[in-house]
């Protein structure tokens, strides 16, 4: 049973997971959409939504700790203005099939218009 299991570990150490999600967030904010595996997209969605919510609450000190890249920080502020009237659900996940090499389910993580 998975009761109170917390989160997916994705076969990585905590520092590797943290770095992976930081890179995913930077790529998503710079490009607008990212192709990755489905479990990583589902967990990445939580991280991205929390970052936009931090920006909406004007918590720039905490936001600068999470997003250390200056260009990405500016992009986050642009997305915060874009989703100012939206209560949540800033991203969508679209399944695109299985990867040829190992059969992992691929998905696109992108921002909602």
Quote the pLDDT of residue 67: 86
Domain ranges of the chain: 14-111
Give the pair of three-digit tokens for residue 48.
């991205």
Match 């607008």 to its residue by tokens: 32
* Residue 78 CA: distances (Å) to CA of 66, 81, 83, 109: 16, 5, 9, 18
Quote the pLDDT of residue 88: 92
Quote the pLDDT of residue 1: 86
Closest Cα to residue 73, out of 26, 113, 41, 28? 26
| pLDDT per position as a tens digit, 45-71 | 999 999 999 999 998 898 888 888 889
Q: Which superfamily, per CATH, for 14-111?
A: Ribosomal protein L17 (3.90.1030.10)
pLDDT, averaged per 10 consecutive residues of the chain (113 residues), comes to 87 94 94 96 95 92 87 93 94 97 97 92
């Amino acid at each position: 049973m998975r009761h109170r299991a917390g989160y997916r570990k994705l076969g990585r150490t905590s520092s590797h997971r943290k770095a992976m999600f930081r890179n995913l967030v930077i790529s998503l904010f710079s490009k607008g959409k990212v192709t990755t595996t489905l479990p990583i997209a589902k967990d990445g969605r939580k991280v991205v939504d929390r970052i936009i919510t931090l920006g909406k609450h004007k918590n720039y000190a905490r936001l600068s700790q999470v997003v250390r890249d200056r260009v990405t920080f500016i992009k986050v502020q642009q997305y915060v203005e874009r989703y100012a009237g939206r209560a949540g659900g800033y991203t969508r996940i679209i399944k695109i099939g299985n990867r040829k090499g190992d059969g992992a389910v691929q998905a696109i993580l992108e921002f909602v218009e």
